[in-house]
């Protein structure tokens, strides 16, 4: 799996995905737009957006649409964030109720401008969903909160069913891919979450194709497992715009099968690995809840 630049040859056949037919996609999108809500599906240009919307699922993105960090892989806008909207938790809960969701994923942009990184807003959103859609299971996909244990504790106090935080890539690529993040800090957050609530399923994800080696990937998997990660997603990095990092390698479906085998040999039992896998893709099925 030595990386090789293949961006100039175009996407391989296995990365071509037909869009589903039917009105469910537009119905969900219209409801979210009317409610004034953001989804990471749309903001990050996720390749599974049409499929998930057509199945009445979406990952809600709270705390605005502008991120205070500027990761080189991410399509979410970097800029001055808007003030926190106190009405947003209830709107998310209302949308989850109106869509009759059984499993809700809540994520956010990174808000380093806030004292708690937005942790209290996460908690308020979970509490609102519980009040309106008590049957729903809730997964949170959180930023690193700059390593603030109290912020993490605030999120966990709202009792999510799964806690997710992505390390995104291997340690050596952090200065290029995630220059404002710290590999060890993300691992520590996962470990702390597991220590605070040992029964809580902890989840993380890695993108491949950014220039990592197989040896580095194996080390990242071992690092995740040893820091309390239970659930793993492995997906292909796709360049969202010409201004983002180039794809260094397209992994074949067979290579993803090999990566899943590797993850199982490390100790993971719940794994989603494939070209189109993203952190929230088929999150309900992967959680086992």
Residue-range domain boundaries for the chain: 17-287
pTM above 0.75, yes or no: yes
Query: Which of 52, 49, 46, 108 is CA-nearest to residue 73?
Result: 46
Instruction: Give 79 or 203, the one with higher predicted confidence.
Output: 203
pLDDT category of residue 27 using cuts at 50, 70 and 90:
low
Q: How far apart are CA 99 and CA 31, in angstroms?
A: 9
**From CA 88, how far away is CA 105, in angstroms rounded?**
15
Q: What is the pLDDT of residue 45?
A: 55
d(C-alpha 257, C-alpha 263), whole Å = 10
CB 119 within 8 A of CB 151: yes
Q: Which residue has the tokens 């809700």?
A: 104
Q: Give pLDDT tens digits for 57-100.
A: 668 989 987 776 676 666 666 677 889 999 999 999 999 998 88
Q: Tell the residue number behind the tokens 């360049």, with chain if given.
A: 239
| Cα separations in angstroms, 124 against 18, 52, 80, 89, 200 | 37, 25, 23, 6, 19
Mean local confidence (pLDDT), 21-43: 64
The most confident of the ranges 36-50, 207-221, 272-286 is: 207-221
Q: Which residues pair with 226 in a beta bridge?
A: none
| Contacts of residue 238, Cβ cutoff 8 Å, sequence gap at least 6 | 11, 15, 47, 209, 247
CATH number of 17-287: 3.20.20.70
Contacts of 155 (CB under 8 A, 6+ apart): 119, 122, 123, 126, 140, 142, 163
Q: Give yes or no for a contact between 219 and 170, defined as CB atoms under 8 angstroms apart.
A: yes
25's CB contacts (< 8 A; 6+ apart) are 50, 53, 54
> pLDDT band for position 53 (50/70/90)?
low
Residue 173 in contact with residue 212, Cβ under 8 Å? yes
């Amino acid at each position: 799996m030595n990386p090789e630049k293949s961006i100039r040859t175009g996407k391989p056949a296995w990365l071509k995905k037909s869009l589903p037919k039917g009105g469910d996609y537009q119905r969900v999108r219209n409801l979210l737009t009317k409610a004034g809500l953001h989804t990471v599906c749309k903001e990050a240009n996720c390749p599974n957006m049409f499929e998930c919307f057509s199945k009445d699922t979406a990952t809600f993105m709270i705390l605005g649409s502008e991120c205070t960090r500027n990761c080189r892989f991410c399509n979410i806008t970097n800029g001055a964030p808007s003030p926190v909207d106190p009405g947003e938790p209830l709107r998310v809960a209302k949308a989850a109720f109106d869509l009759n969701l059984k499993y809700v994923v809540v994520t956010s942009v990174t808000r380093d401008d806030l004292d708690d990184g937005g942790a209290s807003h996460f908690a308020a959103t979970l509490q609102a969903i519980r009040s309106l859609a008590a049957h729903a299971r809730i997964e949170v996909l959180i930023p690193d909160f700059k390593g603030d244990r109290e912020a993490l504790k605030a999120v966990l106090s709202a009792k999510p069913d799964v806690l997710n935080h992505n390390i995104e890539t291997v340690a050596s690529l952090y200065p290029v891919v995630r220059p404002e993040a710290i590999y060890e800090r993300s691992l520590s957050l996962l470990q702390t979450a597991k220590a605070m609530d040992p029964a809580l399923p902890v989840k993380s994800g890695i993108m491949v194709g950014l220039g990592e080696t197989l040896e580095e990937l194996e080390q990242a998997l071992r690092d995740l497992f040893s820091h309390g990660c239970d659930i793993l997603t492995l997906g292909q990095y796709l360049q969202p715009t010409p201004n983002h990092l180039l794809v260094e390698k397209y992994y074949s479906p067979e290579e993803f099968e090999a990566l899943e085998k590797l993850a199982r040999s490390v100790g993971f039992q719940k794994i989603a690995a494939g070209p189109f896998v993203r952190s929230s893709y088929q999150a309900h099925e992967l959680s086992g809840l």
